[in-house]
Every structure is written in C-alpha cells, then in structure tokens.
Structure 1
Amino acid sequence: MNDELQGKRFRRSDDNRFLAGVCGGIADYLGVDANIVRLVFVALTLLGFSGVFVYILAWLIMPGEHEQHSLLEQIIRNFQGKPSRD
C-alpha cells in the first residue's frame, strides 16, 4: 500500500463540500481536485452507471470529517434501540 494512503481514512469533507462532502472527501483521500471527482460522478451517471446511487451509498457509509461513526451506523443503532455513540 502507498505510504501516503496509510493512516488516511475515507471521510466526508466539511470544508470542500457541494452537497454532502462525499466528493471532497474522496478527493482529499486520493490527493486530487474535488472537481475531478465530481466530474467522474456526473460522467458515470450520464453513461448509465449508478453514479447517484454510489454517491448516496458513500454518504451513508462515510463518516463526517470530525465524526467517529457513519450515518448508516447511527441509523442502525437507532433502529435497534441502542443509544447513539458520540
């Protein structure tokens, strides 16, 4: 694994966000411009792939930049009746 990527985690960006910060977080992780990642999502959507579905899925499973747990984990814990972990 590349030394630059070790220790990094996928996180939604708080600073570089347009909707939910998914593209900004992916761009920060990969070290590329967020607009390139956004264009890839748009291209995938226009070419018939599930760009929107992948974006929503990433939004659910990627925790925010300053959060410990993802939105999906919080939803599952609430559904199970367990207290949310902060």
Structure 2
Amino acid sequence: MSSLLVRPRRGKIIAGVCAGLADRFGISRGLVRLGFVVFGLVGAGEIAYIIAWIIMPKGD
C-alpha cells in the first residue's frame, strides 16, 4: 500500500484518480471505478472525480 495519494502515470484510464485511490488504500481499481460510476448515477460522482483530479498530484 502506498503512503501517498497520487495519480499514477501508467495504468490509468482517464486521469488516474481511481487508480490512485485504489493503490493508496490497497483495493481493486475496478471496484473503485465501479463505485464512481454508481455514485455518478445516483449522486455527484462526476463532481467528486473532477475535484480529486484537480487536487491529486501526478506520481513520478
């Protein structure tokens, strides 16, 4: 499990937010992506994703 919350440069689909969250917390990237999709359908997943995209730095 990584100690930092960063967006990876590889293994990402759009901006790397889900991959970064999954790597940081040691869970499946697919599960995090599914969570954002479900949250986007019933809540404000898109807004949360964009905010995370802005505040999460890129990894090395």
The question of a shared fold, defined as TM-score above 0.5 by the shorter chain, is answered with yes
Higher relative contact order (CA 8 A, sep 6+): 2
Structure 2: any 5+ residue segments left out of the alignment?
A: none
Quote the Cα distance in structure 1 between the aligned partners of 2:9 and 2:23: 11
**Bigger share in helix:** 2
Q: Spell out structure 1 runs of 4+ moving beyond 6 A.
A: none
Aligned Cα RMSD in Å? 1.3
Alignment of 1:24-63 (within 5 A): 24-47=19-42, 49-63=43-57
Which residue matches 1:74?
A: none
Which residue matches 1:65?
A: 59
Structure 1: any 5+ residue segments left out of the alignment?
A: 67-86
Q: TM-score, normalised by structure 2?
A: 0.91
Quote the Cα distance in structure 2 between the aligned partners of 1:18 and 1:55: 13
Q: TM-score, normalised by structure 1?
A: 0.65
